[in-house]
Chains A and B, each alone.
Chain A
Amino acid sequence: AQSVAQPEDQVNVAEGNPLTVKCTYSVSGNPYLFWYVQYPNRGLQFLLKYITGDNLVKGSYGFEAEFNKSQTSFHLKKPSALVSDSALYFCAVRDWGGSARQLTFGSGTQLTVLP
């Protein structure tokens, strides 16, 4: 089975400060990992993904995420937050060797960047 946890429902950060949105996963094999962002009344938009290779993945809008196999984590980061980054963020996983053909999503983390 595959699962993902986002331990924080809400993250607040001041504009210009670094931000981190946490994600941990559980798979029986190796993971494909994704981050998506959802703005109000919109569908989810792809930010970045980890498939193989370099553990540090860079994505859209200056976001990056670090794959840590020993800690089974894939935290989303940005060096300097913008007010416009305020949105709902979802982490998702799929097990390479599993039977599931779909992504499993976390419960989401609401990021608020304060001016």
Chain B
Amino acid sequence: GAGVSQSPSNKVTEKGKDVELRCDPISGHTALYWYRQSLGQGLEFLIYFQGNSAPDKSGLPSDRFSAERTGGSVSTLTIQRTQQEDSAVYLCASSLGDRGNYGYTFGSGTRLTVV
């Protein structure tokens, strides 16, 4: 597609429920990143996918968080048993590759509210 697409744009869920957030990167971009933006905070790295390599999960805050990327394209971030502290904007970005001089193209994000 022309840009990075994220869905849903907004999600309100009850504490304890599971949620899935979707990211559709730019066609041909092999690298995909998930970040979390909390109110008044910067961007917190969550997970990174590059091609068919094993993902870098070093930023996931707990084992309630997981992500997968199917066919090297669409990615889904899953949060199990959501907590109020999970409320944030979840941003997805894609890049041509993981060389450091490549910039990212970001989606508009999913605003998650846990009530």
B31, B56, B103: residue with the most chain A Cβ atoms closer than 10 Å:
B103
Flag if B91 contacts A108 (CB, 8 Å).
Answer: no
Number of A-B pairs, beta carbon distance below 8 Å: 53
Contacting residues, chain B, for A106 (C-beta < 8 A): 42
Flag if B108 contacts A94 (CB, 8 Å).
Answer: no
In the complex, which residues 41-60 of chain B have their Cβ closer than 8 Å to any Cβ of chain A? 41-43, 45, 48, 50, 56, 59
Task: Bits for A71-101, please: 1 = Cβ < 8 Å to B, else 0.
Answer: 0000000000000000000100011100001
Flag if A32 contacts B100 (CB, 8 Å).
Answer: yes
Contacting residues, chain A, for B33 (C-beta < 8 A): 102-103
Asked whether A43 is an interface residue with its Cβ less than 8 Å from the other chain, the reply is: yes
Query: Interface residues, chain A, CB within 8 Å of chain B?
Result: 6, 32, 34, 36, 41-46, 49, 51, 90, 94-96, 101-108
Flag if B43 contacts A101 (CB, 8 Å).
Answer: no
Q: How far is the CB of B105 from chain A (nearest CB, A)?
A: 7
B35, B93, B100, B105: residue with the most chain A Cβ atoms closer than 10 Å:
B100
Interchain CA distance A111-B56 in the complex, whole Å: 33
Flag if A101 contacts B98 (CB, 8 Å).
Answer: yes
Minimal Cβ-Cβ distance residue in B for A44 = B106
Interchain CA distance A49-B95 in the complex, whole Å: 14
In the complex, which residues 83-105 of chain B have their Cβ closer than 8 Å to any Cβ of chain A? 91, 93, 98, 100-101, 103-105
**Subset of 17 A-B contacts with CB under 8 Å:** A6-B42, A32-B101, A43-B107, A43-B108, A44-B43, A44-B104, A46-B103, A46-B104, A51-B100, A51-B101, A101-B50, A102-B48, A102-B59, A104-B45, A105-B35, A105-B43, A108-B42
* Among candidates B41, B45, B48, B91, residue contacting A44 with C-beta atoms closer than 8 Å: B91
